[in-house]
Amino acid sequence: MISTGDISIRPMKASDFGLMAKWLSDPKVYEFIHGKPKNLAWVNKKYAPRIAKKEKINSCIIEYQNHPIGYIQYFDIKPYEADYEMENTNDIWAIDLWIGEPNFWDKGIGSKALKLIVDHIFKDKKAKKIIIDPHVDNLRAIHVYEKVGFKKVKILKAHEAYKNTKVDAWLMEK
């Protein structure tokens, strides 16, 4: 668990899956992520292997004043480097995050949670570089990532599944 003020980031547990499914089936939230709702069976299939440490993706819950409000993941991109159009990577990590409770958007929490995990990855994982990949039309996310010091590098074409297609994303790095 890592914390700053009212914000904590802790490993995800199987008991969080119901809440994850609630967040990912809220149209206000999934508009910015998969473009369509995801149910509990989908959440279980995707995240159970991570909790069982069969996949090296650190899946975590963001808490505000001890209440879970969102999801954040971070991982060494080595096994996934081709997805980012990179090769021979070493010590490059990626982050994805979202706040699943829209009432908590635009209150400074996402910026602080991102900075907290960035500091953790540089210090404790000895990363040389961190990347993040918002959809090109997610202007709030891009603004937040720039606020935390990420810079746009290039557009990754058809990078992420969204609705029934694939959309472009900015590769940003810090």
Q: Decide: helix, strand or coil at residue 109.
A: helix
Site string for ligand COA, 17-56 (x = CB under 6 A): ---------------xx-----------------------
Measured distance CA(74)–CA(2) in Å, rounded: 14
Q: Using the rule CB under 6 A, is 118 a contact of ligand COA?
A: no
Measured distance CA(93)–CA(119) in Å, rounded: 12
Q: Using the rule CB under 6 A, is 68 a contact of ligand COA?
A: no
* Residue among 44 and 111 whose Cβ is closer to ligand COA: 111
CB of 101 to ligand COA, least distance (A): 9
**b or e along 112-135 (b: 16 or more beta carbons within 10 Å of the residue's beta carbon)?**
bbbebbbeebeeeeebebbbbbbb
For residues 159 and 133, the answer to whether their CB atoms sit within 8 Å is yes
CB of 49 to ligand COA, least distance (A): 22
Q: Using the rule CB under 6 A, is 98 a contact of ligand COA?
A: yes
CB of 52 to ligand COA, least distance (A): 25
Q: Using the rule CB under 6 A, is 95 a contact of ligand COA?
A: no
